[in-house]
Amino acid sequence: MQNYELLIDRISKAAGLEKDDIDRRVEAKKAKLSGLISKEGAAQIIAAELGISFENDDFKIAELMGGLRKVNVVGKVMNIFPIHSFEKGDRKGRVVNFILADDSGSTRVVLWDENHIKMIEDKIIGVGDVIEIKNGSTRDSEIHLSSFGELRKSDVVMDDVKNAPAASEIFLKDVRQGMIVKIRGVVVQVFQPRFYSVCPVCNKKVVSSDDGVFSCAEHGVVEKKDKAILNFVLDDGTDSIRVVMFSDQIKLLLPEEDLKEESKVTEFRDDFLGTEFYLTGRVNRNQLFNNLEIVANGIEKVDPESLISVLNA
Ligand SMILES: [Zn+2]
| pLDDT tens by residue, the chain, 313 residues | 456 787 888 889 888 999 999 999 999 988 888 767 778 778 888 988 888 877 777 888 877 877 777 889 999 998 888 888 888 777 788 999 998 999 888 888 999 999 999 999 999 999 999 999 999 988 767 899 999 999 999 999 988 887 765 566 788 988 887 778 889 999 999 999 999 899 988 888 898 877 788 999 899 999 998 899 999 999 999 899 999 999 888 988 899 989 999 999 999 999 999 999 989 888 888 877 778 999 998 888 876 655 555 454 4
Q: What are the residues whose beta carbons fall under 8 Å from the beta carbon of 197, sequence distance 6 or more? A: 205, 206, 208, 214, 224, 225, 226, 227
Q: What are the residues whose beta carbons fall under 8 Å from the beta carbon of 148, sequence distance 6 or more? A: 135
How many whole angstroms from 207 Cα to the centroid of ligand 1?
11
How many whole angstroms from 301 Cα to the centroid of ligand 1?
34
At 312 the pLDDT is 47
At 2 the pLDDT is 58
How many whole angstroms from 210 Cα to the centroid of ligand 1?
19
Using alpha carbons, select from 277, 251, 253 the residue that is nearest to residue 267.
Answer: 253
Q: CB of 114 within 8 A of CB of 93?
A: yes
How many whole angstroms from 206 Cα to the centroid of ligand 1?
8
CB neighbours of residue 59 within 10 Å: 24
How many whole angstroms from 203 Cα to the centroid of ligand 1?
6
How many whole angstroms from 212 Cα to the centroid of ligand 1?
17
Percent helix, percent strand, percent coil in the chain, to nearest 5: 25, 40, 35
How many whole angstroms from 255 Cα to the centroid of ligand 1?
23
pTM of the model: 0.51
Q: What are the residues whose beta carbons fall under 8 Å from the beta carbon of 141, sequence distance 6 or more? A: 3, 61, 64, 65, 66, 107, 165, 166, 168
How many whole angstroms from 217 Cα to the centroid of ligand 1?
6
How many whole angstroms from 52 Cα to the centroid of ligand 1?
55
How many whole angstroms from 225 Cα to the centroid of ligand 1?
11
How many whole angstroms from 228 Cα to the centroid of ligand 1?
18
Alpha helices per DSSP H over the chain: 2-15, 19-32, 39-49, 114-121, 247-250, 262-272, 304-312
Pairing of strands 291-301, 240-246: parallel
Q: What are the residues whose beta carbons fall under 8 Å from the beta carbon of 160, sequence distance 6 or more? A: 103
How many whole angstroms from 134 Cα to the centroid of ligand 1?
46
Q: CB of 155 within 8 A of CB of 134?
A: no
How many whole angstroms from 200 Cα to the centroid of ligand 1?
7
Pairing of strands 130-139, 71-80: antiparallel
Q: How far apart are CA 54 and CA 69, in angstroms?
A: 8
At 258 the pLDDT is 92
CA 167 centroid distance within chain: 3
Q: CB of 241 within 8 A of CB of 184?
A: no
Q: How far apart are CA 92 and CA 249, in angstroms?
A: 44
Q: How far apart are CA 282 and CA 2, in angstroms?
A: 18
Using alpha carbons, select from 228, 224, 295 the residue that is nearest to residue 255.
Answer: 228
Bridge partner list, 92: 87
How many whole angstroms from 308 Cα to the centroid of ligand 1?
48
Which residues place a Cβ less than 5 A from the ion ligand 1?
A: 199, 201-202, 216, 218-219
How many whole angstroms from 258 Cα to the centroid of ligand 1?
25
How many whole angstroms from 201 Cα to the centroid of ligand 1?
5
At 57 the pLDDT is 75
CA distances from 189 to 127, 186, 199, 232, 252 (A): 42, 9, 31, 5, 19
At 263 the pLDDT is 95
